[in-house]
């Protein structure tokens, strides 16, 4: 039984007493919540909610598009980028059948919806990683023996109906675990009430838009219409005037018929006004700005947009990135590599990319402040390097960087001598002979 069927079904008096007290009036939200109390929330239901689906896509697309690199921490405290097959799998082609972008997007989507995202780690005979495959959430189960083995639970994963594997072969990205690090909680578990309400609102508004013509109305006529006439009139209305695509059409009535509009009830108005509040709730559980899901928040300037991107990165993206990085370190690095200071890290540069003029100004200032050299700034803007621009540039007003690394200050530089004045030239520029 669907939502609309539940709403149409009359509530028994004893059911009403259990749900709503006589001291308060039931709102439309209360009625929908009651109707949905026994409905299991599924991903398919959630994906029908435009704001929620959009939010999931925003987060998963943002993370999937970010490159992730392998680094090694040096004794000096600096780090160096490591060229490795694993970074190819994570950024380009993860397998002969998929791309890294699609794999990461599917991983994050399952992670957000269900609380767990899984990857199959296909290893070579020497335990190096050959391929990475996304395992759909419903294709895998996990069981634990409940015993501690070297401080770790012994878990067995079964997926694709024939593979039994341990944690060495399965990467498990866990969101908000309750009792252990094995099973997480996704939006479908944490946002049951919000998704239920949103789904009810979507069903109601969709049904309303599909079945009304330009306004809720009734047709009045003296006398009683015959059954064939009533059926014919009903067919004409549904065919030519029902739905949003027919809004604004002129309705021609037969003699004696009158069109009388009927105003929306307070309950219906309340329900339609709930959409904005529902979107804000969805934005809250996804840690997004409501404006990113279509709720108007005033004029949008570039500055505001840039600030929103920073908020988006800090609140919605960064916590997930840290978790993914830790998970990649756990499953994709050997114990020896972990001890030697290897680690994964995402690049957020593209997410925070500015307009070309602002980007040039920012990196140019970094060069002037000696934070980076010119070729480093050019690389940030995807420009080719230029010979001779791998050394810091010193403002000539302060000093000159010499080949031996020393700096000659401007005041120590010898200024060119003035040309001596000719003898016999007076101050006023006249000769003594004149």
Residue 31 has pLDDT above 60, yes or no: no
Where along the chain do its domains lie?
Answer: 357-412
Q: What is the pLDDT of residue 145?
A: 65
Per-residue tokens: 10: 């009359």
Residue 226 has pLDDT above 70, yes or no: no
Q: What is the pLDDT of residue 348?
A: 87
Mean pLDDT of the chain: 75
pLDDT in tens, 193-209: 888 777 766 666 666 55
Residue 21 has pLDDT above 60, yes or no: no
Q: What is the pLDDT of residue 171?
A: 93
How many other β-carbons are positioned within 10 Å of the β-carbon of residue 399?
Answer: 16
Q: What is each CA distance from 16 to 11, 12, 127, 248, in whole angstroms?
A: 6, 6, 63, 40
What's the rounded mean pLDDT across residues 268-281? Answer: 73
DSSP symbol at 315: I
Q: What is the pLDDT of residue 124?
A: 92
Banded model confidence at residue 143, pLDDT cuts 50, 70, 90: confident
Q: What is the pLDDT of residue 8?
A: 44
Name which residue leads in pLDDT, 30 or 361. Answer: 361
Report the first-to-last Cα separation within the chain, whole angstroms. Answer: 119
Please tell me the pTM assigned to this model: 0.66
CA distance 237 to 225: 15
Q: Are 407 and 401 in contact (CB under 8 A)?
A: yes
């Amino acid at each position: 039984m669907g939502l609309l069927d539940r709403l149409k079904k009359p509530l028994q008096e004893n059911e009403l007493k259990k749900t709503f007290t006589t001291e308060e009036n039931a709102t439309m939200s209360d009625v929908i919540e009651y109707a949905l109390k026994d409905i299991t929330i599924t991903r398919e239901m959630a994906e029908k909610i435009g704001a929620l689906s959009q939010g999931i896509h925003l987060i998963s697309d943002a993370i999937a598009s970010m490159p992730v690199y392998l680094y090694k921490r040096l004794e000096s405290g600096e780090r160096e980028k490591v060229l490795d097959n694993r970074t190819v799998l994570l950024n380009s082609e993860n397998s002969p059948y998929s791309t890294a972008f699609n794999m990461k997007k599917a991983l994050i989507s399952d992670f957000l919806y269900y609380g767990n995202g899984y990857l199959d780690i296909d290893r070579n005979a020497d335990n190096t990683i050959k391929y990475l495959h996304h395992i759909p959430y419903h294709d895998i189960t996990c069981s634990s023996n409940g015993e501690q083995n070297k401080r770790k639970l012994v878990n067995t994963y079964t997926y694709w109906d024939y593979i039994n594997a341990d944690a060495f072969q399965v990467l498990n990205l866990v969101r908000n675990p309750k009792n252990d690090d094995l099973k997480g909680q996704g939006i479908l578990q944490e946002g049951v009430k919000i998704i239920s309400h949103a789904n009810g609102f979507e069903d109601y508004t969709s049904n309303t838009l599909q079945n009304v013509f330009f306004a809720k109305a009734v047709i009045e006529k003296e006398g009683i219409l015959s059954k064939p006439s009533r059926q014919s009139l009903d067919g004409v209305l549904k065919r030519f005037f029902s739905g949003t695509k027919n809004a604004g059409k002129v309705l021609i009535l037969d003699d004696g018929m009158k069109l009388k509009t009927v105003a929306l009830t307070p309950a219906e108005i309340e329900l339609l006004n709930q959409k904005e509040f529902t979107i804000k709730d969805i934005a809250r559980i996804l840690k997004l700005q409501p404006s990113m899901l279509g709720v108007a928040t005033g004029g949008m300037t570039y500055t505001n947009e840039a600030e929103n991107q920073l908020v988006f990165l800090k609140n919605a993206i960064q916590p997930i990135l840290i978790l993914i990085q830790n998970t990649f370190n756990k499953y994709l690095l050997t114990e020896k590599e972990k001890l030697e200071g290897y680690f994964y890290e995402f690049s957020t540069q593209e997410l925070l990319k500015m307009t070309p003029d602002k980007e040039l100004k920012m990196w140019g200032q970094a060069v002037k402040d000696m934070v980076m050299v010119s070729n480093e700034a050019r690389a940030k803007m995807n420009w080719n390097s230029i010979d001779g621009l791998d050394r810091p540039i010193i403002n000539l007003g302060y000093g000159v960087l010499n080949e031996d690394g020393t700096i000659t200050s401007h005041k120590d530089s010898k200024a060119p001598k003035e040309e001596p004045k000719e003898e016999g030239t007076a101050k006023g520029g006249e000769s003594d002979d004149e």
